Structure 1
């Protein structure tokens, strides 16, 4: 029997963004096969529109201060939003915080 983790992609959300995901730090996105990072973000945007605005700009590009890592590797060094994510993999979002 295939486990739930094998049919989903886990998206780990930083505490700053958890405020707009109902305080959920881990989100499961259905994935019966490989899906692009952009498609995964589209799915999350449907459920969490404010989350989407904090992660992507009005053109849909990932904001400069938001970093996404697929199983520990920066997607910018892969294929950016076109990077394919397989079921069972983890997408980590890190939002840079400025201050002083």
Structure 2
């Protein structure tokens, strides 16, 4: 199955400037499996998304077809064929 991963500007240096990645995953893959695939294919990006315990970093959000993954099943969220996963880092200021 094919997944489109949308990369924000601030993380594009980890993927040679690409704004999107098209990834092939097994059927019924989850967000966790997508991140595991990134650990192999794009380790610099994956390290910015998960910590050393493979937990999502607190200030990184993932939207699966427009819905934040924490409102779904977190990293256990199932991904369908053709789904778009968007990485949205939180930005804080004061």
Instruction: Bin the TM-score by the shorter chain.
Output: over 0.9
Query: Pick from 66, 77, 84: which aligns with 1:83?
Result: 77
> Highest CA radius of gyration, 1 or 2?
1
Cα RMSD (Å) = 1.2
The Cα of 1:32 is off from its aligned counterpart by 4.6
> Is 1:63 matched with 2:57?
yes
Unaligned runs of 5+ in 2: none
Runs of 4+ in 1 over 2 A off after TM superposition: 97-100
For the residues of structure 2 that align with 1:8 and 1:64, how far apart are their CA atoms? 27
Unaligned 5+ segments in structure 1 are 1-6
TM-score by length of 2: 0.93
Match of 1:72 in 2: 66
Give the TM-score normalised by the residue count of structure 1: 0.87
Q: 1:32 to 1:57 in 2, by over 3 A?
A: closer
